[in-house]
């Protein structure tokens, strides 16, 4: 049983890392992150071997990368179906797709939560680090509306707190439909 748990942990961790990297690639293009940033450049180098051939089949536009979105959804669906089969459940297409989408949304919430925390910490200790700039670009679509909503408190920015609260609310709302 312990070996099964360890193997399960390894499969889940590797799957979430691969899907997370592809999701970060999709998000970086969606928000228009600078490809000159070393973090974004690394994402491009890591994911291009998979996405370049797929772009001939799956079109996209300037902001929405159809190939990376297809890979993200496809990998998540394969992972979800694999888990259901290993659990001796007979997966039917629609419930499996629903589980995959909920799991993907939870991963997105986790990535955005981590990105907000990274941005906050780096703003104190290394504000000019490439990771700091990348997280700022990634978080801007969430933080900018929150900054407009909250009153100006001088040098105190509470928008990350508001966005983190909203992300955790969404996470808790999605958990009853999650597989894990």
User: What confidence score (pLDDT) does residue 179 get?
Assistant: 65
**What is the four-CA torsion angle of 108, 129, 35, 106, rounded to 10 degrees?**
0
- Containing structural domain, residue 55: 2-177
Cβ(26)–Cβ(68) under 8 Å? Answer: yes
Q: Are 149 and 162 in contact (CB under 8 A)?
A: yes
Residue 78: DSSP 8-state: H
Higher pLDDT, 53 or 92: 53
Closest to 44 in 3D by CA, of 66, 29, 63, 64: 29
For the chain, the domain total comes to 1
Mean pLDDT calculated for residue range 167-177: 94
In this prediction, residues 8-37 reach a mean pLDDT of 93
Report the distance separating Cα 21 and Cα 49, nearest Å: 13
CA 60 to chain centre: 19
Token pair listed for 115: 């990105």
pLDDT over 90 (residue 95): no
The answer to whether 66 touches 58, Cβ cutoff 8 Å, is: yes
pLDDT of residue 135 exceeding 90: yes
Read off the tokens for 156: 């105190």
């Amino acid at each position: 049983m312990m070996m099964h748990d360890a193997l399960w942990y390894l499969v889940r961790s590797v799957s979430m890392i691969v899907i997370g990297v592809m999701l970060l690639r999709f998000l970086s293009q969606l928000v228009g992150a600078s490809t000159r940033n070393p973090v974004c450049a690394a994402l491009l180098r890591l994911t291009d071997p998979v996405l370049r051939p797929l772009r001939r089949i799956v079109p996209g536009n300037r902001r929405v990368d159809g190939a990376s979105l297809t890979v993200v959804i496809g990998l998540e669906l394969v992972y979800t179906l694999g888990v259901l089969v290993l659990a001796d459940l007979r997966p039917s297409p629609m419930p499996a797709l629903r589980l995959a989408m909920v799991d993907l949304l939870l991963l997105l919430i986790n990535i955005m939560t981590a990105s907000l925390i990274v941005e906050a910490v780096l703003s104190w200790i290394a504000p000019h680090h490439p990771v700091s700039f990348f997280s700022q670009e990634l978080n801007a679509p969430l933080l900018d509306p929150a900054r407009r909503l909250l009153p100006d408190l001088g040098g105190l920015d509470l928008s990350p707190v508001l966005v983190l609260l909203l992300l955790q609310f969404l996470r808790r709302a999605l958990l009853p439909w999650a597989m894990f």
